[in-house]
Copies of this chain bind each other. A is one copy, B any other.
Amino acid sequence: MEVSIEYSAKLLNEANDIVLTTHIHPDGDALGSLLACYEYLSAQGKKVRMIIDDEVPRAFKFLSGSGKIEQPPITPVTPDLFVVLDASDLERVGKVSTVVKAPILNIDHHISNVKFADYWYIDSRAAATGEMIFKIFKQENANITGGMAEALFTAIATDCGFFRYANTSSDTLQFASELVALGAKPNVISEQLDTKPRVVVEMLPSVLKTLEIVECGQARQIASITLTKELASKLKDETEGFIDYPRNIDGVDIAIMFKEADTNNIRVSLRSKTADVSKLALSFGGGGHARAAGCTIAENLDRAKYLVVEAAKAQLFAGH
């Protein structure tokens, strides 16, 4: 059933043994929300565990408490409450869903949420699940420590592209302002998030050399970069932000990153300035938003590139 902020807080308050989880490939919002909840609930003397079916990415290990995140155990876990953060369906939490047996409270901001939980608090207007967690803490007059503020600022800032994306609302910036007053340091957080292994900067020329630009009339262009399996492996999959290189070129409407996960398994990221790339992604069985979408294509790299670029050209020439 759908629950309010107040009821979500009540469920958290009444449980004494809680497991927290979030989605695989955890991002800043997933981990920031998780760690802030962990500290809030632990401070109340509750038994709390964080379990994720994935590793914590290098970039987020600076967050206080990240070392306490566990991978799914083999034997079942039966807490009072199972809190699923920032995940829109249960498959997104991987094996954790089969190991933990308890009523589920789902707190999430994805519009695509399938309402799988026993209790769900969903707000698709929130830029990040971190905003919703912060609202719960404020509702409860929680003692928000510097560590919690840092986790929530990270959650919010990463999900709105450090206040650059269209989901950055007046509220988003207001919450960020309050979190800085509570001890979050934007410069410390951004320095941690922006740090890259040397190999990523050293390999960037090889990535940029794959830049291809297609003219589509009316000064509109499609620009793509391509990561072969070999290149992606040298980069250790640290490809965050690469799509901004084609995207930021003057005149480019649709930007595409092709990533060869494996032969006949091509991950395609799409960004646009005016075109609706969710349509493009959908036509290949993917999905997303109008300005940011993606799909996976079971063809070889050349064929996948041909198919997607032709479809993008058709869309631009059709004027959509």
Chain B residue at smallest Cβ distance from A207: B205
List residues of chain B with CB within 8 A of the CB of A171.
177
Contacts of A209 in B (CB 8 A): 205
* A208 beta carbon closer than 8 Å to chain B: yes
Query: Is B177 a contact of A170 with CB atoms below 8 Å?
Result: yes
Each complex incorporates copies of this chain amounting to 2
Taking each of A163, A185, A197, which has the highest tally of chain B beta carbons within 10 Å of its own beta carbon? A163
Smallest beta-carbon distance A176→chain B, Å: 5
* In the bound complex, CA of A170 to CA of B175 (Å): 10
Q: What is the size category of the interface that chain A forms with chain B?
A: 35 or more
- Contacting B at CB under 8 A, from A131-169, are 157, 161-166, 168-169
Are A208's CB and B205's CB within 8 A? Answer: yes
Given A173-B173, A195-B248, A201-B248, A187-B208 contact (CB < 8 Å): no
Please name all residues of chain B whose beta carbon is closer than 8 Å to the beta carbon of A168 when the two chains form the complex. 180, 186-187
User: A182 to nearest B CB, angstroms?
Assistant: 9
CA distance A5 to B160 in the complex (A): 33
Does A55 belong to the interface (CB within 8 Å)?
no
Distance of A249 Cα from B201 Cα, bound (Å): 7
Decide if A250 is an interface residue (CB 8 Å cutoff): yes
Asked if A244 is at the interface (CB within 8 A of a chain B CB), the reply is yes
